[in-house]
Amino acid sequence: MEKKDIANWFQNLQKEICQGLEKVDGLGRFIEDIWKRPGGGGGKTRTIVNGAAIEKGGVNFSEVYGKTPQKLLDTLELVNTNFYATGVSIVLHPSSPMVPIIHMNVRYFEMSPSSSDNSGTWWFGGGIDLTPHYIDLEDARFFHQELKNVCDQHHPSYYNEFKKWADDYFYLKHREETRGVGGIFFDRLANNHEFTKETRWGFIQDLGLAFLPIYSHLILNNRNKSFGDRQKNWQLIRRGRYAEFNLIWDKGTKFGLDTGGRTESILMSLPPQAEWHYNHQPEAGTPEYQTQDGLRKNINWIDGTSV
């Protein structure tokens, strides 16, 4: 399995997800923007706006390579070498506040050998998480059960390990709240005594293929629920929190900018509109308050208990 095989599979995944989302949305169509990265590589950014269900979204494919930026070398504690990275990144902001925001990223990273041992370095990373404007326990249970099903096919430890990782990663430290109901997150999945490159890759593929049926279900389950100005205003506030995370804490945003990635493609994750209200506190007993109260780590969404 060569890196080009991985990149080709990611390109096909982007195509299949875009086609499937267009079918579920029923109105919106993706437009494609092909870009080149100074220094090596490029990608395809596909965006959708003003659909029947999706107000703004992007499904990005990238394949970039070249001399490793010094910031990244310092972070990884490596000497001068070249890098290669490819993957698919998705963020979808729905029109209805009753439909959740979703994010997925699946990626492969490789460093060329930096010493005489000719070993090089490679790993897989990624994750998927759900950010409802209003927490629906059935949707949260469905989402996490589907992720657990994928994880359990590959290793019994994956779901619990990656679920905790997501709780810790998708967390707004300055707000002391999670971005949503979490999901799974992982990084630097390499080979060891238990896993090979092929088994790691099989997990990444299955997770990528799970995205479309999961989000299609969530759209269809919620798109026809009624809402008014109150719900739309709350949606804008929750989008503001989403923007805060992506601009302050998201490592993918930082990696893309540090490696000379395309700014428009990197920042496609931001919502079309958002609001910030000074010291906003939801009224006790309201659905908004219940959602705010649910933005905590260590909730077992499958059986509804705290752990």
Reduced to 3 states, what is the DSSP secondary structure of residue 183? strand
The residue among 168, 306, 295, 166 whose CA lies nearest residue 241 is 295
User: In whole angstroms, what is the distance from residue 172 CA to residue 206 CA?
Assistant: 29
In this structure, what token pair is assigned to residue 187? 């990084």
CB 294 within 8 A of CB 132: no
- Cα separations in angstroms, 219 against 15, 29, 128, 192, 243: 19, 16, 16, 39, 22
CA–CA separation, 60 and 89 (whole Å): 5
Query: Which tokens in the block code for residue 195?
Result: 């896993």
Q: Where are the beta strands (DSSP E) in 68-180?
A: 82-94, 101-111, 121-131, 171-172, 177-178
Sign of dihedral through CA atoms 130, 136, 137, 141?
Answer: negative
CA pair distance 101, 68, nearest whole angstrom: 33
Catalytic residue ranges = 103
Gap between the Cα atoms of 195 and 202, Å rounded: 11
Torsion angle, CA of 28/53/247/239, rounded to 10 degrees?
Answer: 150
Calpha distance 25→259 (Å, rounded): 34
